[in-house]
Structure 1
């Protein structure tokens, strides 16, 4: 039987995780966060980073216990119950299914600002059509191409921060080091947490490296370390970038909050840099959307193949292209909701599913390591009870800080999942089918 080769080191896995998170997204959502927090975006990223760090610790502990693909679904299914594992998988499906929509909506918002004569819905439709076509035909981008595209994003991000520093230094009234981006007129915790609830969108994918388990040297050690490093490095990138951007543009007044970084780019670098920034952001959004739709379609295919979703629609591959066409097209249809939603609501809606999955992963640590084990030393108390409880509290607080429409949509999705689980299990009398992600 063919097996994947274990060729990936810790550095390779961390680089994959950072690339998956698409660091330039901190610029893409800056205006939304500035509007929600009233101009203290770095404070929101500090709160989000702390919350994500505790959850990343739980993911690391569960990745060490179950070094297989499946992430939250597998951890909850094996440590608590198959039915609750299904709910965790259903929450993850919310992220995967609607993430392309949010990615393309952000890209369309910036293209709409650059080309105001072209209606933004046309950009959304163009993103959906092009990426869906590529994913149907089959995507085989070389590692070198992906590396170049990531390099473009990082260079644009570094250039943006450097120009912000230059802009601030050019104004004698603005100090380079200030607490104003964190406490502008005082700390309003509800506003900061509301911003943090959206800022967590930037962290989505920190756990994606669990899918590389079969290709990594010493996965029980490497994958947990990578998850923590990715969260720390990602948080540092987001905090530092948002600090200097907020310093260059204090407050939260923009012509269009959805594309605020476009306006800031013109202020700090002129028309030429605006073009460079736009290219970097669109490259990031396009490649990220392409990968997100491909990942979502593979998840739907895995669920269809294993009988969790209708097999005829989701569990079959195109004879011509060898891709899950039905699942890809469904992702494209779902993305049409971007025509009716704004960036803040779409990212918040996705975060509801993430926070639900994060909460269940924190809970799975308690069940697997604390309740399921007889060890009760101080280290276990800290790692397997206190830290997961803090992580649960943080993610539930962030969930409650989402806007009301996002919470309503998220609860509706959860209710739909419970109803579907009841139908799938004959009124909860039998266990749901098990999903096998490794073959997807």
Structure 2
């Protein structure tokens, strides 16, 4: 039992072995861009159609609920990231505060989250790119869809994963600069969408506002619908700020810059989401774009703006890779820290001459390509959410435990009303988990049961983390 609950001693900066050290190249504008790049993406460009199908016009309420819960989780992340400025995000915080077995479960859940997020976004990107490739180059659609959609494999989704992997292997600073430029393209495109859609706003499109009710319920077609059912899916649209906390060891002045990046990106993105969602639902009845793989472009075509539709689709093709980049970055850093701790082969933790974990990046790309090529977008997103919800609960719990265990410890960022914020994050995430499809909940439990078998068979014996 003592081994299961042993807590990690964090090594940062020059305390790390030379082959594990990463270069500090990121400042707060890079972090905000990383966060906005991660958050504003598939959720609003693609999953708004899935959310509208689940909740109707009240998808706006779903966005608001998911946003409040994520904002509370973001504040917990901001506090913990300044107390423990090391890579690993929720995994590291859990190891330091709660103990090894909890860290393993959260790390295993984060592997699920980040891998499936990268896959989901890659599939969303393909949803915009494939029609353009088909129209311009005659690209066969059966090679842009998985078996669930009558195709063979989603090759564009796999391609974008490997392009981003190559970029990350070139270097973190170079990736961050390109990411910032693409984020600007994305924000300009969403602004254009709102400007064109607002003149077509019709309040009648919001009636009835809540056609499927508030709580999760099974509709006659077998789909689970309601405001909370939609919130549990489009919750995916808001997270991404947690990827910022994985950049702690590559951030200049992390005590100041990490909170700015985490909280700043959440505030910016919440405003963007509410405006774009209202413009989308107001411009077109939700039934006409529900479950579309390219809902914003579809809305533009339906209101007789085919030129703007092409611009939106092209911009999505250009800008969605920022989301792939942010989460791919986060996933590789989670893998990196777990390899340092012995839970994965230590040889994977080696850093290249350019300061990047090349081996981990290649393995991550191979892993997520399988999901992106073969699995439906909504099922990937729902399963990714389950891993994220577990991580958010863990971070909020870590914050509250540390408030009790070490009330006088240095906290460069202090979450206001910490107990209220922490409990909202924990209870809200638990409710969202219960609102996920039952199949998703089952898959999540199976994933973690398998993870515990791996831990007891391999991880517990191989653990090398400095502990106390």
TM-score by length of 1: 0.83
| Unaligned ranges ≥5, structure 1 | 169-173
2:291 and 2:213 map into 1 onto residues whose CA distance is: 25
**2:243 is the alignment partner of 1:208:** yes
2:243 and 2:426 map into 1 onto residues whose CA distance is: 20
Equivalences for residues 49-68 of structure 1 within 5 A = 49-68=67-86
Q: 2:127 aligns with which of 109, 124, 141?
A: 109
Is 2:120–2:377's contact at 8 Å kept on the other side of the alignment? yes
2:159 and 2:25 map into 1 onto residues whose CA distance is: 36
Residue aligning to 2:220: none
Residue aligning to 1:296: 331
Residue aligning to 2:312: 277
- Say how many residue pairs are matched: 420
Equivalences for residues 207-246 of structure 1 within 5 A = 207-213=242-248, 219-246=254-281
Deviations along 1:148-204, whole A, 9 cap, x unmatched? 322221111111111110222xxxxx25xx893893458524311111111121222
Deviations along 1:252-283, whole A, 9 cap, x unmatched? 33485333333212123522122111111111
Q: 1:332 aligns with which of 358, 366, 371?
A: 366
Deviations along 1:126-151, whole A, 9 cap, x unmatched? 33145426635833546554333222
Deviations along 1:209-248, whole A, 9 cap, x unmatched? 2244456565334423442232222112111110111111
Q: Shift of the alpha carbon at 1:372?
A: 4.5
Q: 1:19 aligns with which of 37, 43, 46?
A: 37
Residue aligning to 1:418: 452
Q: 2:27 aligns with which of 3, 8, 11?
A: 8
Residue aligning to 2:141: 118
Residue aligning to 2:426: 392
Range 289-298 or range 26-35, more displaced? 289-298
Q: 1:159 aligns with which of 177, 180, 192?
A: 192
| Unaligned ranges ≥5, structure 2 | 1-13, 15-20, 146-151, 217-225
Is 1:163–1:268's contact at 8 Å kept on the other side of the alignment? no
- Going from structure 1 to structure 2, the CA distance change for 1:214 and 1:97 (only over 3 Å counts) comes to closer
2:155 and 2:279 map into 1 onto residues whose CA distance is: 34
Q: Shift of the alpha carbon at 1:50?
A: 0.9
- Going from structure 1 to structure 2, the CA distance change for 1:56 and 1:289 (only over 3 Å counts) comes to closer
Range 60-69 or range 292-301, more displaced? 292-301
Residue aligning to 1:75: 93
Residue aligning to 1:263: 298
Range 19-28 or range 148-157, more displaced? 19-28
RMSD, matched Cα: 3.5
**2:357 is the alignment partner of 1:353:** no
Q: Shift of the alpha carbon at 1:81?
A: 1.2
Deviations along 1:395-423, whole A, 9 cap, x unmatched? 01111111122212211111122112212
Is 1:302–1:435's contact at 8 Å kept on the other side of the alignment? no
